[in-house]
Structure 1
Amino acid sequence: MIKSSNIKFISFLQKNKSFLIFILLMSVFRSAVADWYTVPTGSMQPTIQEGDRIVVNKMAYDLRIPFTEVTLVSLDTPQRGEIIVFESKAADMRLIKRVIGLPGDVIAMSNEIIQVNGKRLSYKPSTKRFALQKNTTTSSIETVGDIKHYINIDNTASDNYSNFSPVTVPAGHYLVLGDNRRHSADSRFYGFVPHHELRGKATTIAFSVNYDNYYLPRSDRFIQDIYGI
């Protein structure tokens, strides 16, 4: 004899079959294809601000079995200047940073200036002012690979990590930094990022909310390419 509770459950499945299939497909899509993440800190300012919702291409580097960390096939590797999302075991949290060093690269930093394989990156001063930027913060345009982007230097913050001697990026790893250089816990703190921790490439700001203004949307940060300056 079939219990009435089982009959009700079967009836529920039949009536909501299309909706349940949609939920399943959406979950698979967000797990393996693309998703968006909330950015709670300012470590990537001015490129990414607190309150931004970032679209992440999860198939940019690897194709994984949905709902797992099992890689079916590697599709590509990050390039210098790209912004990646990764599950950091060292930091015990999900992080978003910019790739500076690829496997085999020799990276050094002297007074905020980065050298890649003995060549100094290009820097140009910027007079542009950004939302949330302190009066004590200066901005520059840094060129990494083919990507130009802004970086912030807070001149009142500690510069203890503004310098490091040449280091070689190990095979299968990446050296990453935040754009808000003196307010970012990155490879200078947690070391190199192994490829298996990557979860995707950040591509777009879907939208942004202002935490200091009742979480209202920021009209100037809707569907914005994070690689354009």
Structure 2
Amino acid sequence: MDFDFSAILLALTVLFGVVWGLDRLMLYRKRKARFEAAAEEYRDPAAVDWARSLFPVIFVVLLLRSFVAEPFRIPSGSMMPTLDVGDFILVNKFAYGLRLPAFNNKVVGLGEPKRGDVVVFRFPGYICQDDNGRTVRSGDMTCADTHAPVPGQNWIKRVIGLPGDTIEVHDSQIVINGKPVVDTQIGSFKGNPARPEDNELLYYNATVWSEQLGPVNHLIARMPARGPTPPVPNARVPSVVPPNCYLVMGDDRENSEDSRWWGCLPEQNLVGKAFMIWFSWKGWGTGSVDFHRIGTVIH
């Protein structure tokens, strides 16, 4: 089962607020009068005391996570070498507008993603055609079950194509509106063979490149020997990015399940913009805390 912390925070905020509010409106005065009549020191019932104490704390946490910044942990190597497995990042929740917690509906528009942004989003599912020929999103990659539920997961990728862009992708070569993306090989990937995510890149003789996406210069990893990736356009991705949609890709280009596989990212699935690594844990015996990555601004 997917763990939706925002939904849990919202539910607890409502629960504690209702318990505390109803008690103050309906029960508090009579209870206090009984204590005064018995000449006893007043005290709230345990449930009300907990609700009164926890409601403001959880409410503030909910506001901060929903509208300011939210922490996330990188679980996979799809964004290497920019983001590593075990990096803990902060995500700007108001970069692309204020959204209701849990429901993610935008209530105030403050900006739109730019080419090169690293974005966190709710996985939208795979684009499929149902029995009636309608385009739907499914949790089944093969589209054999077009009604398969889409996992409620947060993913992270880099914005490559904006609405209206004409995009071509062949392996790691990207062409945007007729102009090839400029990239320069830096050298071979250097890593720790004891870490599975590093070992794969080393096994396939990965190379590291500097890529320029608009004003954003960042690193990508390439390992063509790992096997081909879907080109763009393909059955799920047209050559022109649809309105209110974005084409996103991982920086580990041959090891990223991204828009090439499941289609464009709908605007309503955006969560926020990743902007800083606040902690990095490489694992016991394979680097432990990586102090050099702490405080790194994400480009």
Above 0.5 in TM-score? Answer: yes
Deviates most, 192-201 or 203-212? 203-212
2:232 is aligned with what amino acid? F
Alpha-carbon separation, structure 1, partners of 2:75 and 2:161: 25
Q: 2:116 aligns with which of 54, 58, 81?
A: 81
Match of 1:138 in 2: 207
Residues 1:101 and 2:139 aligned together: no
Q: 2:78 aligns with which of 39, 43, 46?
A: 43
- Asked if the contact 2:206–2:223 (Cα under 8 Å) also holds between the matched residues in 1, the reply is yes
Give the TM-score normalised by structure 1. Answer: 0.88
Which structure is higher in RCO with an 8 Å CA cutoff and minimum separation 6?
Answer: 1
RMSD of equivalent CA atoms: 2.5
Q: 2:232 aligns with which of 164, 169, 176?
A: 164
- After TM superposition, give the deviation of residue 148 of structure 1 in Å: 0.6
Between Structure 1 and Structure 2, the one with more strand by share is 1
Q: 2:47 aligns with which of 9, 34, 38?
A: 9
Counting aligned pairs with the same residue, the percent is 33
| Structure 1 pair 160–128 and aligned structure 2 pair: CA distance change class (3 A) | closer
Correspondence list, 1:19-38, <5 A: 20-38=55-73
Alpha-carbon separation, structure 2, partners of 1:159 and 1:67: 37
Q: 2:276 aligns with which of 187, 204, 208?
A: 204
Match of 2:291 in 1: 219
- Asked if the contact 1:57–1:201 (Cα under 8 Å) also holds between the matched residues in 2, the reply is yes
- Asked if the contact 1:103–1:172 (Cα under 8 Å) also holds between the matched residues in 2, the reply is yes
1:57 is aligned with what amino acid? N
1:64 is aligned with what amino acid? R
Q: 2:221 aligns with which of 152, 162, 166?
A: 152
Aligned length: 223
Alpha-carbon separation, structure 2, partners of 1:151 and 1:111: 13
Match of 2:131 in 1: none
2:202 is aligned with what amino acid? K
Unpaired stretches in structure 1, ≥5 consecutive residues: none
Deviates most, 95-104 or 148-157? 148-157
Alpha-carbon separation, structure 2, partners of 1:11 and 1:176: 47
- Asked if the contact 2:95–2:110 (Cα under 8 Å) also holds between the matched residues in 1, the reply is yes
Residues 1:187 and 2:259 aligned together: yes
Between Structure 1 and Structure 2, the one with more helix by share is 2
Q: 2:247 aligns with which of 175, 180, 201?
A: 175
| Structure 1 pair 11–124 and aligned structure 2 pair: CA distance change class (3 A) | closer
